[in-house]
Structure formats: C-alpha cells, structure tokens
Structure 1
Amino acid sequence: MLSLTQLSEEAARYENQIQALVVVLFPEFTQVFADPCGQTALAVLKAYPHAQAVAEAGEAAVHQVLRTVPAPHFGRSTAQKLVILAKESVSSGRALCGRASSLRILCDQLEHTQANLVRLEQELEELITTDPGTKGLQQMPELRPKTIAVLRAELGEVDRFACTDQAIAYAGMDIKIRESGQWKGHPKLSKQGSGLLRQMLYLAALRSISLQGSAFDAYYQHLVARGLKKMSALMAVMRKMVAVATHLMQTEEDYDPGKVWVGATGP
C-alpha cells in the first residue's frame, strides 16, 4: 500500500498538471472555481474540459453537471457565469483534443488518488484509537487526529530510536551546516525523510502558538524572548513535538505539558 507521503505527493503532482492545462484550455475557469481541483470543479472539467466545450454545451447542460455534486452553493448562476466566460475565453485552440483528453485522465487520476488518501486516513485514524502507543498523543491538544496518524505512520517503529535526537534526524528536523554557496557556514534543516511529516508538524506548531495555555506556545515565547527569530523558534517547536511524540509512543505514558516546558499546565 502506498504511504500517506506517496499518495499526497501523487495528488499534488496531478493538481499541478491540471492547473497548468486549465490555464491553457479555459484560463477564466478559476474566476468561478478558485480551486480547479475541488470536487465540483473536477466534475465540470471531466464533462467539459475546455472553454469551447462549455460554450457549446450551454447553461442547462452545465447546470445538470453541477447538480450531480453535493455543493448547494454552485447552482444555475454558476453555470450561467461559466458559459459567459467560456464564450469570451481567450483560451488556446492548439492541440485541443489531445489536451482535453489529458485533462480528463488527470481528473480521474486525481479523484482516485484523493479517494485512496481519504480511505487511508480513515484507516489510520481508526487504528490510533486502539493503539496504546498513541494514548499520550491523543491527550495533546495541539495534535489533530490526522497529525497523530501521520506521526504514527511516518515515524514507524519508534523503539528503534535509541534517543529522541535520532527521531528528529529521521524526520529531517535536525540542523546541518551549509558547506558551500552564499550561505556557507549557516545552519539549515536537513529536510531528509518525510515531507508530509514536516508539513503536519509545521501546521501543528502554528496551531500551538495560537492555542492559549499550550506548553509549546510557552516554549516558543521563551525562545523568541531570548532573541531567536520567530521562524527558528517555530522550527524548534517542531523538533520539540517530534521528541515529545517519540517519547510518548515509546513509553505509552500520559501527556504531561509540564515536561514540555516548566510551569506549563496545558489549555
């Protein structure tokens, strides 16, 4: 089975390709659908993959496609606007059939990948409720179910880490010194390992510094007060989260915010 990282990267690749084709085939499309990879937008693109197809189909046909997707805010007025924009479109007519076919295929592939992602995330979330190793993680207000699932899946068997520093390095959150280039001698993240894990940690760290009473926010504020730049302090929070998560999964202990930062009691 593909991992969350692989599926997420695959979905992102399809999204980029779809957006690039939409710019050519119907550049005005995003005036109606800010995200051309949303469920309703994909349904329209699969039915009418270019401006000429939308214009020829007409308002009634486009509205019928919109009705197949449970999105009540996209109705007849949406169909009307799409048709008007399609008739006035400055889209390129070059290689229309080939590009339209490619767009349809990409939309199908993205939907299939998104469905697999949803299914895998659901399976992981169900697993964490019965996994004693995630008990402490579920007690951390900064972590949402998907974040916990990603931590568990991407860190894997945490008992193989002799210390939390090894887990931090595995997550690509360890610090390396640049050995060449303009910034030679300056520190940087190694960014090895799972990009999805770092993304989820980044979002969790952002949540923590806006969560009143969070031990991680207290740690962040302490670092900033000492003169550390805000982004560097945020990276430190991410590393602290990996260390705490690894320890909790290894020991199956309850979460204690006081061990994250002295005096913290949690929200």
Structure 2
Amino acid sequence: YYSFIQPTSEAFEKLRVFMANRDVIVKRLTSSINQINRWVDIVFPEFREVFKDIKGKGAIATLRLFPTPSELCSMKAHEIVKGWKTVMNRHAGLKKAQMLIDLARNSVGSKQAQEAYKLHLEHLLEEFDLAKTQLERVEKEVTSVLDQITFAKKMIAIDGISEISLAGILGEAGDLSGFAHGNSLLRHSGLHLAEASSGKWKGQIKVSKRGRSRLRRFLFLTTLSLVRNNSDFKQIHNHNVKVKKMKKMKSIMKLVGKLARILVAIAKNNQTYCSQKVQPLTPLAA
C-alpha cells in the first residue's frame, strides 16, 4: 500500500501551518474562557444575572475594572458607568450597574483570599487577550493567502463556505486541481467506505478514517454549514430524508461526497458554482 507524493506550492503549505497554529490558539482561548467562568462561579456567581455571556465586551470590561463583589459594594451606579465609558462606547447603563451593586451586596461567593483571586483573574484576562489577538492575526494571514489562490474566490462565493473552513480544506488537501476526482479527495481524508473484516470474519462497511483527520473535520463541518445556509444543499438533504427515507447522518455523509466533487471540479476546470447541476433530479413531494 502506497501513494504518490503530490508536491504543493508555498501558498498551500502556509495554509496548513496557519490552520494548525489556529487550532492550538483556539484551544488556548477556549481554556481561558472556561477558567474565567470557573473564577466567576467561585468569587461572584450572581455576575451572570447581569451578563449572560462572560466573554462579551461588557462582562470582560467589568471583570477588568471591578471584579470582586467587595469593590462593587463600595461604589455607586454612576461610578460604574463612568468606568465602563473609559473602555467601551456602548455600555449596559445605570439600571444594570445598580443591579450589579445589589447582587454584590448579597453575593454568596468566596470572601477570602480576594487579592489572590484578583491576581489569578488578571493572568486569565491576559491569556484571553493574547489568544484573541493571535487568533485575529492568524485569520488575517489566512485571508491574505487565500487571495493568492485563483480558484479560492469561486469557492468562497458559495453560500455556506467560509474562509476558515476553506483554508482548513486546502491546507490539508493541497492543490485540489491535482486530484483526479472528488472521490480521491475523500480517500485522502479517510471518508471513503471500507469493509471492516479480518480473516474469515466479515464486518460492516463503514467510513475508513484512514487519512487526514483535520481534513475530515473541515469537510464535515463545511457540509453542515452548507445544509444550514445553502438552499441547494438544504433541498437535497430534505429530499434524502423525506423522500428517500435516509437517516440524517447518512444524508450528511452523502453530501460530503458531493461537496468534495464540487470543490475538485471547480479547481480543475476553473468553473463557477452552478446551482442547476447540484439540485436533485426529482422535485420534493408537495
């Protein structure tokens, strides 16, 4: 068992490195958000009654300026609003500021080791800011590299395909014009069907998963996005489920193959996406 090595240009190599780096940054960003949530649960659990999303601008600004309930108890509503105005243009307003003070006075959070908790939160916010800045920088570089690939713009023009998902596919697969068919891309990702058998034992036919795992992930997530946002893929999915009586996951996996064939065809023939070629042959039953 062997496969020929397909040399790729520098643009595709850059995408592979950038997207691998992005995965690491996203994990760090998610970890910092989870730890900030844990900090709020311990020190000021009532905080979420005012700010539902911890990573929102208002919540992060409040945690920077006056994180602990003891600080909020000694302040007035207009002082909190004044502090918000120093870091953001739009703020929660006097009503929420007063609500924050009332909740702080009756908080059940930890009252001990306040200085230690404040230092811990500062470090978590620094990690959050660093990961967020790095993520924005990497995604900006990814966008600039995609502009250098001729067929990338035609793929991004398809409703449901984002720049990040396309960069993930191209970074792992390389130049799609080098693939003979969409099925070759599926085999490269490990999404082709294979029989799980051994000796005299014969098993079921399943997805082999012998290929690039990151490419599998981006093909699958891109297909889910197309089913939600692209009218053609949504129509095919409904046709598969309602008319052909397929299970939803089987329909999604079938559409992954269609997406692979569309991407390879666009790269090889330099054609634009044609909606008429994608729609099912038989219309949906009324």
Structure 1 and Structure 2 fold alike (TM over 0.5): yes
**2:237 is the counterpart of 1:220:** yes
Following superposition, the deviation at residue 111 of structure 1 comes to 1.9
- Letter matched to residue 207 of structure 1: N
**2:150 is the counterpart of 1:132:** yes
In the other structure, the counterpart of 2:130 is 112
Structure 2 counterpart SS, 1:3: helix
* In structure 2, C-alpha distance between the alignment counterparts of 1:7 and 1:132, rounded to whole Å: 28
* In structure 2, C-alpha distance between the alignment counterparts of 1:234 and 1:124, rounded to whole Å: 27
In the other structure, the counterpart of 2:96 is 78
TM-score after normalising by structure 1: 0.77
Kept in 2: contact 1:147–1:201 (CA 8 A): no
Structure 1 stretches lacking a partner, 5+ long = none
Provide Cα deviations, 1:79-119, integer angstroms capped at 9, x if missing partner. Answer: 22211111111112344333332222112211221122223
Structure-to-structure mapping, 1:43-122, within 5 angstroms = 43-122=61-140
- Letter matched to residue 227 of structure 2: A
* In structure 2, C-alpha distance between the alignment counterparts of 1:74 and 1:187, rounded to whole Å: 52
In the other structure, the counterpart of 1:192 is 213
* In structure 2, C-alpha distance between the alignment counterparts of 1:201 and 1:253, rounded to whole Å: 20
Kept in 2: contact 1:121–1:149 (CA 8 A): no
Alignment match of 1:205 (pick from 194, 208, 227): 227
Moved more, 72-81 or 251-260: 251-260
In the other structure, the counterpart of 1:255 is 273
Structure 2 stretches lacking a partner, 5+ long = 1-17, 198-202
Aligned length, in residue pairs? 255
* In structure 1, C-alpha distance between the alignment counterparts of 2:163 and 2:87, rounded to whole Å: 27
Following superposition, the deviation at residue 260 of structure 1 comes to 3.2
**2:29 is the counterpart of 1:11:** yes
Identical columns (%): 21
Moved more, 133-142 or 78-87: 133-142
Moved more, 154-163 or 83-92: 154-163
Following superposition, the deviation at residue 49 of structure 1 comes to 2.7
Kept in 1: contact 2:28–2:131 (CA 8 A): yes
Structure 2 counterpart SS, 1:132: coil
Kept in 1: contact 2:195–2:204 (CA 8 A): yes
Moved more, 248-257 or 186-195: 186-195
Kept in 2: contact 1:49–1:104 (CA 8 A): no
Kept in 1: contact 2:185–2:260 (CA 8 A): yes
Cα 1:67–1:151, aligned 2, differ >3 Å: closer, same or farther? farther
In the other structure, the counterpart of 2:48 is 30
Find the structure with the greater CA-based Rg: 2
* In structure 2, C-alpha distance between the alignment counterparts of 1:172 and 1:49, rounded to whole Å: 48
Provide Cα deviations, 1:58-95, integer angstroms capped at 9, x if missing partner. Answer: 43442233213435252222222211111111112344
* In structure 2, C-alpha distance between the alignment counterparts of 1:258 and 1:42, rounded to whole Å: 47
In the other structure, the counterpart of 1:40 is 58
Cα 1:142–1:18, aligned 2, differ >3 Å: closer, same or farther? same
